[in-house]
Amino acid sequence: MTKVVKKSPASRIPNTDFTTTEPVFHDPKHNIRIYQGDCLDVMAALPEESVDLIFADPPYFLSNDGITCHAGKMVSVNKGDWDKSRGADANHEFNRAWLAACHRLLKPNGSIWVSGTSHVIHSVGFAMQQLEFKLLNDITWVKPNPPPNLSCRYFTHATETIIWAAKNKKSRHKFNYKLMKEQNGGKQMKSVWEFLPPRRDEKSFGKHPAQKPIALIERVIRASSNEGDLVLDPFMGSGTTAIAATRCSRTVLGIERDEEFISTSLSRIAQELIFVAARVLAMAIDLDLARRSMDRSMCNENETMGPLNAKRLVRRESNFHFVGSFRREVVYSVVARDMDEAIERFSASTQSAVEILLVVKTETEIYLTEPR
């Protein structure tokens, strides 16, 4: 049974003593544990050489009172106190400290991926060499639609770097070469990856200013671990690594200091774990999607989930899933009030040219629960 444990506000303060190994969220069935606290304190309480794979997206130290462009508007680059630079030496010492903690936790054949821009990634790479990690690859993540540079004095920042490293030179790191080749159309996959930023639905419960697309982290996890392996994210943010690892059938261990991001992560994880059972009783197909929708769903009130103690409704929504005629898969999903709005949003999307076989509507309610 999923267990949610409240932590005191003090656990959000940097370098607070982490006096308990009790997670704020624990789902043994799906092998997910989420801790709230400073990552150095939490990792110090975890057993040595217990983690197969680490994905880390540490602070980039970009909050310098500058401006950037977001959604066509001029906005501040400040993300929070956690992202402010303390100077090159202090920033590097911080990177050495959390990387050393990761090094202790990695199994002998484990590996780590760290994402960053030029503001932090060179320090990360140097710290890895100082700690005797074995550098394997530096991946260039290309963003097809980066925000423009408002000052017009620099090239547009269209990439981030992700360093992949093994624990040491003796490590026999995992690399699912055949799978990556298959996903790349039968050719060796290069170290330049193109991914769009997180989709709108990935931010439906809230967003993190440094949020990564799920597809990017899924590739990282599938490339360098096997099903059942333990994946750690010491800077979990909005929970993207937890979602990706769950979809890849890995065990999840996430650490986050901020209570707001913890809340966002738990909402996203709850949605991911919903089990949907659908029974198709009747179906009418109209490929031109005329406005003649019919509700053929049926709910059996005798089929219940069991004795749950519902505490608080945190989400209620209607989802519409468009299934392609030729690609028999969901090609577009949207949250909408009714079928008309869903069709309108589909028609305005990039998938509007796809011929649709049918539209499936699902109703979702999410409650925070505790065992009786």
Residues 256 and 335 in one domain: no
CA angle 181, 186, 190 (to 5 degrees): 50
When comparing pLDDT for 261 and 107, which is higher?
107
Residues 199 and 309 in one domain: no
Q: What is the pLDDT of residues 27-57, one digit of tens each?
A: 888 899 999 999 999 999 999 999 999 999 9
Could you tell me if 5 and 22 are in contact, meaning their C-beta atoms sit under 8 angstroms apart? yes
Could you tell me if 340 and 292 are in contact, meaning their C-beta atoms sit under 8 angstroms apart? no
Say how many domains are in the chain. 2
When comparing pLDDT for 70 and 161, which is higher?
161
Give the chain's end-to-end CA distance (angstroms, integer): 10
Average pLDDT, the chain: 80
Comparing 102-116, 143-157, 345-359, the range with the smallest average pLDDT is: 143-157
Residues 162 and 287 in one domain: no
Residues 242 and 305 in one domain: no
Buried b (16+ CB within 10 A) or exposed e, 144-163: eeebeeeeeeeeeeebbbbb
Q: What is the pLDDT of residues 83-93, one digit of tens each?
A: 567 888 999 99
Q: What is the pLDDT of residues 153-209, one digit of tens each?
A: 878 888 999 999 999 999 999 999 999 999 999 999 999 999 988 888 787 776 666
Domain boundary among 272, 295, 317: 272
Q: Rounded CA gap, 39 and 203, in Å?
A: 24
Q: What is the pLDDT of residues 107-125, one digit of tens each?
A: 999 999 999 988 899 999 9
Residues 258 and 296 in one domain: no
Q: What stretches of the chain adopt beta strand conformation (E)?
A: 3-4, 25-27, 32-36, 51-56, 67-70, 73-76, 106-116, 134-142, 159-166, 192-194, 230-233, 251-256, 309-324, 330-335, 356-370
Half-sphere exposure of residue 221, counting CA atoms within 13 Å on the CB side? Answer: 28
Number of H helices, E strands in the chain: 8, 15
Residues 185 and 281 in one domain: no
Q: Rounded CA gap, 4 and 371, in Å?
A: 10
Domain boundary among 256, 272, 288: 272
Comparing 2-11, 131-140, 268-277, the range with the smallest average pLDDT is: 2-11
Q: Is the pLDDT of residue 290 over 70?
A: no
Residues 6+ apart with CB under 8 A from 73: none
Residues 217 and 303 in one domain: no
DSSP 8-class letter at 198 = P
Q: Give the pairing of strands 67-70 and 251-256.
A: unpaired
Q: Give the pairing of strands 106-116 and 51-56.
A: parallel
Half-sphere exposure of residue 130, counting CA atoms within 13 Å on the CB side? Answer: 13
- Expressed as residue numbers, the domain containing 355 is 277-372
Best mean pLDDT range from 203-212, 245-254, 276-285, 356-365 = 245-254
Q: Is the pLDDT of residue 342 over 70?
A: yes
Residues 89 and 191 in one domain: yes
Q: Is the pLDDT of residue 326 over 80?
A: no
Q: For position 8, what pLDDT does the model report? A: 35
Q: For position 16, what pLDDT does the model report? A: 32
When comparing pLDDT for 356 and 278, which is higher?
356
Q: For position 297, what pLDDT does the model report? A: 47
Domain boundary among 243, 272, 301: 272
Q: What are the tokens at 196?
A: 């769009």
Which CATH number do you get for residue 268?
3.40.50.150
Residues 157 and 143 in one domain: yes
Q: For position 72, what pLDDT does the model report? A: 53
Q: Rounded CA gap, 173 and 245, in Å?
A: 18
pTM of full prediction above 0.75: no
Residues 366 and 226 in one domain: no
Comparing 24-38, 189-203, 239-253, 283-297, the range with the smallest average pLDDT is: 283-297
Please provide residue 118's backbone torsions phi and psi, each rounded to the nearest 5 degrees: -60, -20
% of the chain beyond a pLDDT of 90? 44
Residues 299 and 250 in one domain: no
